[in-house]
Every structure is written in structure tokens, then in C-alpha cells.
Amino acid sequence: MFIDKSMIRKVVTIIPEATIHEARDLLSEHNIRHLPVVGEDDTLLGIITDRDIRSALPSSLLTEAEKEAQEERVAGLRVRDIMTRNVITISPTQTLGDAILLMQKKKVGAFPVVDQSGKLKGIISVRDLMRAFVNVLGLNEPGALLGILVEDKVGQMKQIVDAITEEGVSFGSILVAQHWEEGKRAVFPYLLTGNIARVRRKLEHSGFTLLDPMEWSLDQLPKRQA
């Protein structure tokens, strides 16, 4: 799952000489929040966001006289004056996982995608990542999520897959997560069926312990039972 397969290629960009109002209008027209700032050769020079523009525009709390003074100041501002120059970027050959980790670390909502020469090739946002993972995990098809506790050893996944396919049920995806108990893993198959009762009975008969996906948290593992 590489960035260049999920990024937006037709990027809305702006030049550094454009006015703040032109940038605001572009964001509104295209319903986006990030505008890469580029030179004539598509080299990335910076980025400007809706937050940057809101910070530069006059506050609604100002008096009319103060607003007029602020409007005069804003009229002279250009994108280059308020854009972020040290932009956090990502490469087309990096993965979606790389993008998610970087977004979490840097607390940003989008990355310009640039090649080795610094030229803009696309942009990828949280929205694009969500769309990609919905497709990868098969969540756009109706189904049900099952939770299974397994031993962290070879052969466990095959037993689960065999048990489910023997019931004629198709997979949308399978996720594997940590578990608080050493030597254990939590497996979450997303099954393309609304009736998983037979599958549950078969897995329990095979010796597996079933988990409730609704009680699982990606941020905090289930508490150890006393």
C-alpha cells in the first residue's frame, strides 16, 4: 500500500505571490484545507492552510475602525508572508502506514507528496487514508466483525481460516492485534455475512476463545481479569 496509489494527483496549488483572499477563495471553491505553494517548475516552496488564513484575517470581535485597519494590512499580504516554509513531506514510495505514523507524530492533517528533486507529485490527507483503508479492509461491503483469542504460534491463522471457509463464508479482511496475555494475539476477521452464529460455534468447538470486539480498544488493551 504505497502513497502513490492513494494520493490525490491533481493537486490544487497556489503561487507565493497570490493574495490571502485568493488563497481563501481557492480553499472554499474546492472544499479543501491545505494549499501547497509551488514555483514555476512545480517545486514545493511551502504550504498554507485554512487555519493560517483565519489567523491572518481580521477578527469578528474588532470594532469597525479596527477592522478597516486590519483589512488594509491584509490587502497587502501575500501567500509567501504567512505560508509554512519548512513543510513536512512524504515520498510516493513510502507506505500508508508511514503516513499514519507521521500524521500521529507531527499532528498534521495532510502531507504534500514530493519526489527526490522536491517537485510536487500529489497530496495525501487523513480523508484519503480513511478511503484507502475502507477499501483494503472491505468495510464498504456489509458484514460482521468477529474477535478471536489465539496463541502466538504458527498454524493458528490457518485453523481459523479453514474453519470459516468450511462454513462457506468469505473474508473482507483480517486484523491481528496485541493482547495483554503473553504469548497471545487477538484476531479480528471481518466476515462478509450478517449471520456468524455457525462460525462462532465452530470456532468455540475447535477450542478458540471468542472476544467481544465492542470491548476492544486500539489505545488501551483489555484489562486483565482478576
Cα angle 216, 175, 103; round to 5: 80
Distance CA 25, CA 30 (A): 9
> What is the reported pLDDT for 221?
54
> What is the reported pLDDT for 58?
66
- Which residue segments constitute the domains of the chain, with CATH numbers given? 3-135 (3.10.580.10), 144-215 (3.30.70.260)
Helix or strand holding residue 147 (H, E): strand 147-151
Residue-wise pLDDT for 11-33, tens only, equals 999 999 999 989 999 999 999 99
CB burial of residue 30 (10 Å; 0-12, 13-18, 19+):
exposed
> What is the reported pLDDT for 76?
80
3-class secondary structure, 160: helix
Q: Residue for cell digits 479482511?
A: 173
Q: Is the pTM of this model over 0.95?
A: no
